[in-house]
Structure formats: C-alpha cells, structure tokens
C-alpha cells in the first residue's frame, strides 16, 4: 500500500510516519518546502494554493489527511478550502480511501477553529473518495503547553471543572494505521485517552511532577463555551481507548510521577 500523508511534519505526523514505516507501508509525505529522507518520499505541495496536489496524490492508494492550521489566520484556507482541493485531486486520481483526523468536540464546542474542522469533515464526507474520519481527544502535550502558558504570571489560571481526556499521539497514529487497514468507514470514529480529568486534577498532577508550588487560581469560563467545556464537550465514551495516561506523560517529560 502506498499512502500519502499530509501534515507529516507535525507532532502527530511524525508519529504516523514512524508507525507506517514499522508496518511496512510505502509512504509519501507532503511539505511546503523540500525535504530529504531515505525512508519517506517527500513531495512539495501547498493546500492553500493547490500547487503540487495533483502530483502528490498520483499513484497512491490512500491519503491520511493530518494537515491543519489552528493558528496564524489561515485555518479556513487550509482546513476547509485546502481539504476541498485535496479531496478533488484525490478523487480525480482514483484514490481509494481518505482518512481525515479531526477533534472530539468539533460538533459540540463553539470554538471557531472547531467549526472549521467540522466543515472540513463535511467536505470529506461529500467528496468522491471513500472516507473515514477519526476524531481524537487532545494530546497531553497540548494540555502541558496550556498549563505552562496559563501560569506565566505565577498561579495556574483556569476553570477547575473543565474536563479533558488526554490521548497519546503514538496511540492515535496506531489507530489511524488500523483504520487504513480496515478500509473506508463512511462515518466518524472517536478515540480518546484512558482517563477523563478535571482541570484541577490535571493541574495537581502537573505541579507534583514538576515539583512546583504554583497555586491554582480558579477562573470560571463564562457563557455557552464554559458550559460546553465543563459538560464534557471535549471527551468521549467511545471504546476502545488509549492506555497511556496523563501521569505517564508527566513521568516521561519531567521525571516525576504525577500521581496522587
């Protein structure tokens, strides 16, 4: 099987490339700039302009679409219009399966980025290529970065009752690889980490692992968004789940246990 991976240079993309290589899959990966790799065929392609997409999808059996632009003001151009360009090109090339990575909660949480991800899902579903969508919960690295940025002024600032379900990117990569083998779902699958944590629980473990005494300064997120986040908009009950916990991530990152 020859698989095209977009967004291959990101955190998930790196894990996906390693997983597919271990599985013996022939991989072609896209980048906006030329790269050289003895194990991966890198091609230059741009979702915003469409340059290189026809060449990128030529001769591949499946596409893993991981590319996204959550920051920088190009989300709509990359995630929605870029996905449409990719789907059209893949359909014209006769690609047999397109797997799109999305986020648990895009249909429940009123964040602009999530609305664009949901629109991209709809583009994939309406396109000519047999498809699957995998919605994953947030990576522990994202939560770690969030806690670091929210504590820049001293205390860790956040809504103590917001719920999160960190999932290891390596486990998401394995799930994507399994979806490739299983073939087009024609639907949406959700995949989350092993634990649902309140924000204050995550902070407590994070502080312990880092040996920090920074207090939690609770600030309730107002309005509809706060209700969605506290009500479980970012978590899923879907099975199976990942096995690596928040504490595992903290132990690997900081050397502390992150356990109580």
Q: Domains in the chain, start-ordered, CATH in brackets?
A: 2-137+168-191 (3.40.50.720)
Q: Is 44 helix (H, G, I), strand (E, B) or coil?
A: strand
CA distances from 206 to 69, 152, 216 (A): 27, 15, 11
Provide the 10 A C-beta neighbour count for residue 94.
13
CA gap 190, 242 in Å, rounded: 11
Q: What is the pLDDT of residue 257?
A: 54
Output the CA torsion 229→231→232→234 (10° steps): -20
CA gap 118, 169 in Å, rounded: 21
Q: What is the pLDDT of residue 72?
A: 79
CA gap 93, 151 in Å, rounded: 49
List CB contacts of 132: < 8 A, sequence separation 6 or more: 97, 98, 99, 100, 179, 184, 185, 186, 187, 189
Q: What is the pLDDT of residue 71?
A: 87
Instruction: Respond yes or no on whether the N-terminal peptide bond of residue 77 is cis (omega within 30° of 0).
Output: no
Q: What is the DSSP secondary structure assignment for residue 221, as one 8-state letter? A: P
Closest CA to 28 of 14, 17, 19, 15: 17
Place of tokens 């929605």: 80
Q: What is the pLDDT of residue 256?
A: 59
Closest CA to 132 of 102, 98, 172, 87: 98
In angstroms and rounded to an integer, the radius of gyration of the C-alpha atoms of the chain is: 19
- pLDDT one digit per residue (tens) for the chain, 260 residues: 999 999 999 999 999 999 999 999 999 999 888 887 778 899 999 999 999 999 999 999 999 999 999 987 899 999 999 999 999 999 999 999 999 999 999 999 999 999 999 999 999 999 999 999 999 999 999 999 999 999 999 999 999 999 999 999 999 999 999 999 999 999 999 999 999 999 999 999 999 999 999 999 999 999 999 999 999 999 999 999 999 999 999 999 998 554 44
CA gap 20, 174 in Å, rounded: 9
Output the CA torsion 162→163→169→171 (10° steps): 180
Strands 197-198 and 163-164: antiparallel
């Amino acid at each position: 099987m020859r698989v095209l991976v977009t967004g291959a240079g990101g955190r998930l993309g790196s894990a996906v490339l390693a997983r597919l290589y271990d599985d013996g899959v022939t991989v072609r990966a896209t980048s906006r700039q030329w790269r050289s790799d003895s194990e991966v065929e890198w091609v230059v392609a741009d979702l915003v302009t469409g340059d290189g997409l026809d060449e990128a999808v030529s001769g591949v059996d499946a596409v893993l679409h991981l590319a996204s632009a959550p920051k920088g003001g190009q989300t709509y151009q990359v995630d929605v219009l870029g996905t449409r360009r990719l789907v059209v090109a893949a359909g014209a090339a006769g690609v047999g399966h397109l797997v799109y990575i999305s986020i648990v909660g895009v249909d429940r949480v009123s964040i602009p980025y999530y609305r664009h991800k949901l629109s991209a899902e709809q583009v994939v579903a309406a396109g000519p290529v047999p498809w699957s969508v995998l919605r994953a919960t947030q990576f522990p690295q994202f939560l770690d970065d969030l806690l670091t940025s929210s504590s820049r002024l001293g205390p860790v600032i956040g809504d103590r009752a917001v719920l999160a379900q960190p999932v290891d990117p390596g486990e998401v990569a394995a799930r994507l690889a399994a979806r490739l083998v299983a073939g087009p779902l024609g639907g949406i699958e959700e995949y989350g980490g092993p634990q649902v944590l309140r924000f204050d629980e995550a902070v407590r473990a994070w502080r312990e692992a880092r040996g920090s005494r920074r207090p939690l300064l609770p600030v309730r997120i107002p309005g509809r968004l706060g209700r969605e986040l506290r009500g479980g908009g970012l978590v899923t009950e879907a099975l199976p789940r990942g096995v690596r916990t928040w504490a595992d991530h903290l132990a690997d990152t900081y050397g502390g246990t992150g356990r109580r």
